[in-house]
Structure 1
Amino acid sequence: MTAEVTGTAATAPPPGAAAVRRPARVRLLWLLALAAALAACCAASLAVGSRDVPLDQLAAALGGSSDNLDQAAVATRVPRTVLALVVGAALGLAGAVMQGVTRNPLADPGVLGVNMGASLAVVTGIAWFGLWTADGFIWAAILGAGLTSVFVYAVGSLGRGGATPLKLALAGVATSAAFTSFITAVVLPRGDIADGVRSWQIGGVGGARFDTIEHALPFLAAGAVVCLLAARPLNSLALGDELAAGLGERVALTRGLAWLGSVLLCGASTAVAGPIGFVGLVVPHLCRLLVGVDHRWLLPYSALAGAALLTVSDVLGRIIARPEELDVGIITALVGAPFFIAIVRRRKTRAL
């Protein structure tokens, strides 16, 4: 899956060019700063909510104590925080890989319709096949994500010029809108599942349980490993398919494996948290400002930044509407939609 190379993409800098501008020491410092920010986000996620927890009670709860309401509140927020971390990391990493594979700055699991395809598969499984197990959700979501990615690329490749970034984005947005309507059509006759599906479809990490996370972890870990192993080949693909092949890269194999890793991440994330959008779009662009275009650095940064962004969004959702909560999918949409418009308006980002 690749997009037409236009504009500045045809003269994309070699993988080592970013390293000259950003020495490894600077990148390591930014990585440490990002890790510290992520730790602060985790502390805020455990302490902030409808009931704020003082630091001393937070420390006591983390030490295993559960003697009062403050400490009990922390215990209920631990799986929620863990889910926000793993889903945010998965979406950030998947977005960076999708943008690298397609050389499309608009690529994102939500924009390309992959998350909505996974959602449609899960909802169809629930409504028509009695699908209720965590493993069943994950397998259905991965299958739906994979089929949708193939469909969007096929539609975006039609016509003159092949799969340009704009055509892929339009195909993804149109597919996402169509699948949203299909989901509504599937759910409407089933009042017994409508409330649960409606809430899940917004995207959120509330009500997280460790047993659900444990079911998704093997798929998320496998997807992350595949994506990280593709970092160096993705640097070669940034030079163009012909040059990458001349350097000894198996272009089709690299692109297919990297896309498989991103589909695993998107499918498993959607199964456990719903279709959360824009994390995979915003995070890689911000990380490129810190570390450049070298995927060996960009992918780990995107995972950490994605985890931090989703955790912060979850905390903001608890604060804005106290004592009620806004699902994290609403917060990420409020942040990501203006960012998406800004990217579309920038003519120099037609391709990576």
Structure 2
Amino acid sequence: MPTSALSCRAAALATAMTVALSLTPTPARANPGTDPAERVASAAEQLEIVVEQYNELREALRETRANSAAMHAEMTPLEHAIEAHRSEVSLIAARAYRTGDTRALGTLGTLIGAATPENLLDPLLLLDRLTRERHRAIAALTEAYERLAKARRAVEALAARQRGQERQLAARKLAIETELARLAGMTGPDEPAGKSVPRLPEAVGGAAGEAVRFAYAQLGKPYRWAGDGPDGYDCSGLTSAAWAAAGVRLPHNAARQYRAVNLVSRSARRAGDLVFYYRDLHHVAIYVGGEKIIHAPRAGTRIRIDRVDYQPVVGYGRPG
């Protein structure tokens, strides 16, 4: 197996390990007080953080499984190559030393067949060298196979750990949703769907225009945790779906989107750019111009237009 391929697998494994280790539980915020509306808002924000952690974990688990499958695909031809070399060595030993059928050795067999007592030593030395080279090839292939198998075992262990984290996040999500359901009766029904769609604040062309028009078409749809449409979205699900409509793939996670885009300044931002919020990057929206964004705010709300600075902005990014 080429050393570069093993290096790539090792790098991917290291990245996945880093992602897994970074998914630690988010500390609970201070008690928001006794006001049911404040408690709902706090619980909903906690749910959004958990959702984005789940989205991050889901992306990491997808990469881990892809790495494992790629390693398995590389191990199969290595197994075949090892077996082929072993068969060649066996063939050399069986035919050359037992039966004397040197024709099976190709060019080397011709040399041995033409040997005389005076020149017999040279072809026999060549035969010995050939056999030793075959054994070295087998040893190198076996070493590569064992290294790849070890890396794959590590990846599979990581996948098991990620699945455990997935279950932990699901339990946290359930607890928050239960609290939201309990508080819902104290604060009234969820935010109603809007009846009208406002006009675009400015004309937008190209891929950014496609993304903005897609986002506008989703106004009024409900926030749905880990949702990527078409009936509902979470924050990063909406932005990834909007840019997918423009032919640009973005990961379904706000922090990963931040790392995937080209960062731009506030003065350089334009419609279609992504807007990232909070220091831990657990929320993202799409800028539509006129100091406005479209986003999926949190549980119990619907996709809507807000001011771009409705919460502290961390940065702006341009996909593509």
TM-score by length of 2: 0.26
If asked which structure has higher relative contact order (CA below 8 Å, sep 6+), I would say 1
Judging by fraction of residues, say which structure has more helix. Answer: 1
Judging by fraction of residues, say which structure has more strand. Answer: 2
Compare CA radii of gyration and give the structure with the larger one: 2
